[in-house]
Chains A and B, each alone.
Chain A
Amino acid sequence: MQTIYTDLLVVGAGLAGERAAVEAADAGFSAICLSLVPARRSHSSAAQGGMQASLGNSVMGEGDCPDVHFADTVKGSDWGCDQEVARLFADTAPIEMRRLAHWGVPWNRVVPGKSIYYKGGKQFEKVEAQEKEGLIMARSFGGTAKWRTCYTSDGTGHAVMCTMDNRCAQVGVEVHDKTEAIAMIQDGETCYGVVARCLRTGELRVYLSKATMIASGGFGRIYPNTTNAVICDGGAHTMCVNTGVVPMGNMEAVQFHPTGIVPTDILVTEGCRGDGGTLLDVDEKRFMDKYEPEKAELASRDVVSRWMTHHMREGHGVKSPYGEHLWLDIRHLGEEHITGKLREVYEICTSFLGVNPIHQLIPVRPTQHYSMGGVRTNKDGAAYGLKGLYAAGESACWDMHGFNRLGGNSLAETVVAGGIIGKKIAEYLEGCETEFKTALISDTVKAQQARIDALVSGSNGSENVYKVRAAMQDALNKGANIFRTEEGLKECVTTLQDTLIRSKNVGLRSNGRGVNPELAAALKLEGQVKMALMLAYGALMRTESRGSHNREDYPARNDRDWLTRTLAYWKKPDDDLPTLEYEPATSVVEIPPGDRGYGKSEIISADDKKE
């Protein structure tokens, strides 16, 4: 078996992973990133909108500064975030955007003079300042006080990902693509690397490292409907869950986006509604104006998603072979607007649906979009529980997003966190001596080989991996969705416990040879169901509504009892429920809990406790 040694091993070659690897390489350490796909195909490249940093170059961003960005982020999080981390983030974001410009990102730049823009379907005029000519431009995004989102046309993630991957090639960071980490090498105290499966040959390989980082992105694929790429399946999270000592933070915090298209849940931008698009039901009648007379379709993401789901539950959904959905109507905006300002939407509809949005309705439904929860780390990005283990990006709960992340804040997080944590890792590596215990390594490999053999021979049973996976997805969809109730969550937990047993009895139908995709799915299934249980059980125990976590039976945000972060452990492999612990959401309080200024405002105050 091949054994590969490196100072820093990063599981994931998206923006967060590559940014951290560059930092380590710049400090003189060797760094390898593993990835399921060539780095540039990582999901970071799918982000179109942009990334937030308070550069304040645009006239609409005048007066912006890290303080305003920080305040928006804390409010957005519904006071669920770690404020020290949010501060670090807001302060560093402008520097990272400029660094990206230096490395080669073709940011759109300020063009001085008059131009028009739209808001709520109406046309306005603005004049960009002459002295800002050629500086990084910004666009408007939801939940922000200023125009703060840096962008490159409609392909920000793609452009930044290309630049970052180029930088990796330049400074000698290796990317081992088509390589899947499947288990962590650890002794309950220190992490020594991973066992990985080569997706070119199917062989196992050992990676030994002084420091290991999880930067594997979101895990939206444990839901049936998601905007996430098919590789965002939480496979690397399951390695951490299986250690028993590394907790997952706030797994119940899941963001849903109102307009994923049906059937493939590809995202169509919020801009459709921003520019005056409406949502219609099975009778082609508008309904958002009844639920939210003031803001209607323009209420915040979580609010719109909630009402859409409610409306479908009341029997107004459109039935389809792919389940129920509603319609998005942008026909009245006209051909010029649709093929101009909403070109991307036009292309998605015509290429993926065969629907022409100039004349036809777009089938949409709220869909899983972002995982606020993940591998819990401290502000240096060090994971709880194991020495030498770090995490960054969407896979981590570094926790600047709390219970709801703002658009544009996660792509910015990847490079900001990658940079900060990469530096911390380099400091750690500086003083690090490690001994690799050969017995530990060979035991881990043997255990993985045994798992594979059992799946191939069917010695555990003959459950169908895809059916068990569908059962897990279905349970989450029913019980741990946009609306949550005690009854629904209890049923979800029970179903998942049953699914967990089934996941232990999976047997392959194919022969498992080579790069067998059925084997890849089977290897992570049990861990995925455990993650699903962390999510559902955490949601059941959290008896309040905060950000995206919405309990119909506990509609108030309860700062008195729940200004906390959930830590979910899977302590023993045979447990049938996770162990939940709690810690304060933030130790530093710059902005005390208050009203967000949007959405509902019922709050049980933290002050009630003392009285």
Chain B
Amino acid sequence: MTALTAQVAEPAPPPPPDAGAPKRRGVELTLLVGAVLISVLGHLHVGLATTGHVPRPAAHYAAGLAVAALLAHLAVRFRAPYADPLVLPIAVLLNGLGLVLIQRLDATTPGHLAAGDQLRWSALGVALFVLVVLVLRDHRVLQRYAYLSVAVALVLMLVPVFFPAVNGAHIWIRFAGLSFQPGEFAKILLAVFFASYLAANRTALALTGRRLFWKLRLLPGRVLGPILAIWALSVGVLVLERDLGTSLLFFGLFVIMLFTATGRIGWIAIGLVLAGLGAYAVGTFEPHVNSRVDDWLNPFASIERGEGPGQLAQSLFAFGAGGLLGAGLGHGQSFLIGFAAKSDFILATAGEELGLVGLAAILILYGLLVSRGFRAGLALRDPFGRLLATGLASIVALQVFVIAGGVTGLIPLTGMAMPFLAQGGSSVVTNWIIVALLVRLSDSARRPAPQEPPE
């Protein structure tokens, strides 16, 4: 993320007519080979450490991952040749590492195998990545579907209310033995809507409105009203569904995109204060959240009460056991965390078996991915594209912060999926679509300016 500093100044300098940005597809291919290799070696390591021999489906796994990476690469090479060469390899590496960690946890919970499903969802994700890169030739097309997006997003978020709660949250839809979280898809649609709406009304938001005091001005209700309503509705629904992680994410996304569009830091501050008050109220009066806050403030309280370590305590034990260098893949005991070890707490396994070094590397990978998103946003020339890139990058960043901060005791725990790493079909698929959009956006950003303006 620090690489942002020395880059584009406003306005973006017009690129020289003929030179064009280097395409860097060879770099991408090389990095992809590395990403596939690391994942396959990880897979072999897990097999050797847990069973003592090379896992039988290792060859299939390697071949499958290589083919998926190659197909994705070919799609980018032919349809988004100027795309940022880091984005796809980072996604492949994170997805591959996630599969390694899930397979490793499968070895200790033979009754609940998850790696196979995750592999199929990943394949679907890559397929959708290819589809988006092939079909979506210009990101500005999405601008036209802003209101359709928000309508679909709201429907998607409302549907799970009619399905039974799982672990206390109404966020899943189950049918035909499959389950997925529609809220995951909704976040892309919402980002598209926010970007489109804010891009269209940017001037009005930035320059009009009555002055309250000093530099603080009331935004015009006519412009702010609809978007505020949408946001309030979505967050309200999520609170009803007790999906606090996602409501936090949506709030953060809204604030960041509003700030990017208007530059009004004062409103951000007010928003944060309001959110803080809301969070305090929910944290105090809602028992589900209240217990999480208690856990965060004193993760070992349950041990002192003689009830044994809770999930967060187990997670902290796992991180602590990893130390600097980690126990090595397959040598940790993070299954002690219990049922959420493969989903919400997947980072604990990474922390225990790869150590501080490996965990920091993973977090920095996310940082790189996010920074590439912002970078595309900086280099793009249309406000919609800039806002969309910022929004998508922020989704990844906020998600990583909320879940990683939660499992390491930095902030109260809210259930959310670590992008690409955690078990969860809808999450993997959604993140692949985000990556596809980032590839598309970075392609547009780095593409040399056309000789004649597009129609």
Q: Do A and B come from one complex?
A: no
